[in-house]
Homo-oligomer: A and B are copies of this chain.
Amino acid sequence: MNEDSALDSLVKAIAKLPGLGPRSARRISLQLLTNKESVMDPLIRALTHAKEQMKICHSCGNLDVNDPCYICTSERRDNTQMCVLADVASLWAVERTKIFKGRYHILGGVLSALDGIGPEDLKIGHLVERIHTQQPAEIILALSATVDGQATAHYLMDRIEELPYDIKITRLAHGVPIGGELDYLDEGTIVTAIQSRSAV
């Protein structure tokens, strides 16, 4: 392998993708370059097409072919509920359940002291604006049950409670996942599941 800048830049561009390092990037680059017609061309076409077609909804932060997205423009969704999420992947996860029929708001991450992500780096000001406009009756904070996720939820609760509206703030229930074996669960989850137990 001599200094082939075209190959080097390809390996570097691929290594920047989440979950990939220099070794897997080199493997993928080789696969692409030895299969130009069957693998590389379809990938370039799909990337270019998706780049042109997919837009980030300026209202909720979702990815869609339209801006505002199909959820924000739908008249069948419930304006009284707003679900606050960290990212698009979380929105897709909730949408797949088909149980939530309100609107969404994507923060673009969670507060993180370690990664230097403060409130001004997230779409929190925009969330407050949307609360003023939409005045939902309930805000569901659907953030991860991690330290950063819960810190973000607490910060948002404080910010929302300052607002001059009577908004019910809820969070996702913690407990034993469906199909989860107690034996493999951490103690924190089991403690929460016992404390939040319900009558049968």
| Chain A residues in the interface with B (C-beta under 8 A) | 1-2, 4, 6-7, 9-10, 12-14, 16-20, 24, 26-34, 36, 39-54, 56, 63-65, 70, 87-89, 92, 95-96
CA distance A39 to B36 in the complex (A): 21
A95 CB to closest chain B CB (Å) equals 6
CA distance A41 to B14 in the complex (A): 12
Nearest residue, chain B, Cβ from A71: B2
Q: Is the CB of A17 within 8 A of B46?
A: no
A59 CB to closest chain B CB (Å) equals 15
Q: Is the CB of A51 within 8 A of B46?
A: no
Q: Which residues of B contact A20 (CB under 8 A)?
A: 28
Give 30 CB contacts A-B under 8 Å.
A1-B96, A4-B65, A6-B46, A6-B52, A6-B54, A6-B65, A7-B63, A9-B42, A10-B49, A12-B46, A13-B42, A13-B45, A17-B31, A18-B28, A18-B31, A19-B27, A19-B28, A26-B92, A29-B50, A30-B88, A32-B50, A33-B54, A33-B56, A36-B51, A40-B47, A40-B51, A41-B51, A43-B47, A44-B44, A44-B48
